[in-house]
A = this chain, B = another copy of it.
Amino acid sequence: MTVETGSGPTPPRLVTLSVEELHASLTDPALESMNLLNEIAARFPDAVSFAAGRPYEGFYDIEDVHRYLRTFWSYLVEERGHDAERATRLLFQYGRTKGVIHELIAGQLAVDEGITTDPEDIVVTVGAQEAMFLTLRALRSDDRDRLLSVSPMYVGVTGAARLVDLPVVGVTAGADGVDLADLAAKAERVRAAGHRPRALYLVPDFSNPTGISLPLGTRRRLLDLADRLDLLILEDNPYGIFAHGERRMPTLKSLDHRDRVVYLGSFAKTSLPGARVGFVVAGQRVTDAAGADRGSFADQLSKIKSMVTVNTSPLAQAVVAGQLLANKGSLVAASTAEQLVYRHNMRQLLDGLARRFPDPHAAGVSWNNPSGGFFVTLTVPFPADDLALADSARRYGVLWIPMHHFYEAPGGLHQIRLSCSCLNPADIDEGLDRLAAFVTGRGRKGEPG
């Protein structure tokens, strides 16, 4: 910290802070990359954006907020037997750190996911991001700790890890979402270096950023391997509900009979981001050196939460709960309209790519075919870096995210993430025309990027 002399008539000496004396995360590329991408997006407001992973907005209606609040109020009074005073206190006052809609969330997990959980093992959080942050804060005890994460990975996990000084070791995703041989090798390498792999983070369903899902066999083998490696699994599942068709893949949590899995849930994509409500299921028992029970892992996360956000806004929880109640406790039922939109958009994106690149091999491009979620990985025959993105935005009017931002180490330089979640059909077509022109033009010129 230094004191500078200003230039006013009565010179005020203003305090300035030195960024080098602030926490190292603040100069880390992981926390800078989203800013950089947002800046590019802001400079080209008329570009079609395949970059934004926001949920579809077309069904949002402010009157629903009032309706959901009234639905939750009725539930408290009529089903839970609260008088008006108690119901008001629950919504207005400080409250239970672990949240007030934990029973409804446990019910939703049972109905939609086949997950059986004690509501006491749930901590309702300010979005899944806080759930992730609390989990990493709890797990990072000293300099030896490491987080394994399937790579490429969601920037939120990298950023949260930076905030608690927890180094992240990437594990290859491969074609099946996680390369189990690489996972075993990385865990052993971490241990051989005297470090401790605390957990593996992944998004098993329609991963952000790749769109890849783990096949059923891989899920089972991953759980077995985690047992052998003595690893926790952090399963982040914001997109699983948006599978095309009736059959969804079982979550790792629903296949887990040994409390291997800490499950991170989000209502941002199924309900609304503006409530900022997510949760973590963490039923693992915690003991001390004497073998005494110290409660559940959820209880530990709750203690940390009490010093980060105290509790999640019960008004915001009420909005989410009202929507659940209005749909018989099911998020699948609550989001049927959105599911159709995402399915149609994904179909249009994939078909549109196929139409514009009838001979992908000749064009040097390829893409995967997710059967749900928001994201597609497109591989291109040139370095898809930030300069290429700026060129795409300026000259072709189309935005996307360079995949290299999702890697811990150099990687993904020829890949881009395409998102189709918040676009309408006309924009997808227009955007694909522009994208194809950009890819073809740049591919032909063989520009180094």
Contacts and interface: CB of A to CB of B under 8 A. Distances in A.
Nearest to A233: B15
Q: How many copies altogether?
A: 2
Report, as a range, how many residues of chain A touch the other chain.
Answer: 35 or more
A268 B85 CA distance: 18
A341 to B, nearest CB: 15
A88 B63 CA distance: 10
Contacts of A258: 3, 12-15
A233 to B, nearest CB: 10
Interface stretch (A102-110, A237-245, A273-281): A273-281
A428 to B, nearest CB: 19
A287 interface: yes
B18 A91 contact: no
A163 B137 contact: yes
A141 interface: yes
Interface stretch (A24-32, A185-193, A392-400, A431-439): A24-32
Given A16-B285, A62-B73, A141 B315 contact: no
A307 B133 contact: yes
A270 interface: no
A92 B17 contact: no
A309 interface: yes
A89 interface: yes
A223 to B, nearest CB: 11
A126 interface: yes
Contact of A316 (B3, B31, B133, B313): B313
A321 to B, nearest CB: 13
Given A3-B230, A54-B94, A308-B308, A15 B303 contact: no
Given A273-B93, A285-B16, A288-B20, A133 B319 contact: no
Contacts of A26: 138, 300, 303-304
Contacts of A20: 288-289
Given A16-B285, A18-B289, A308 B130 contact: yes
A160 to B, nearest CB: 5
Contacts of A274: 91-95, 313-315
Interface string A255-291: 0011110000000100011111100000011111100
Given A1-B230, A55-B93, A163-B307, 6 more contacts: A3-B230, A13-B227, A16-B259, A23-B140, A35-B303, A127-B310
25 contacts: A3-B227, A12-B258, A15-B258, A16-B285, A17-B285, A19-B288, A20-B288, A20-B289, A23-B139, A23-B304, A26-B138, A26-B300, A31-B307, A57-B89, A60-B92, A66-B69, A126-B312, A159-B306, A163-B307, A276-B309, A276-B313, A276-B316, A309-B309, A313-B313, A315-B319
Closest 4 CB pairs of A and B: A159-B307, A276-B313, A126-B309, A60-B92
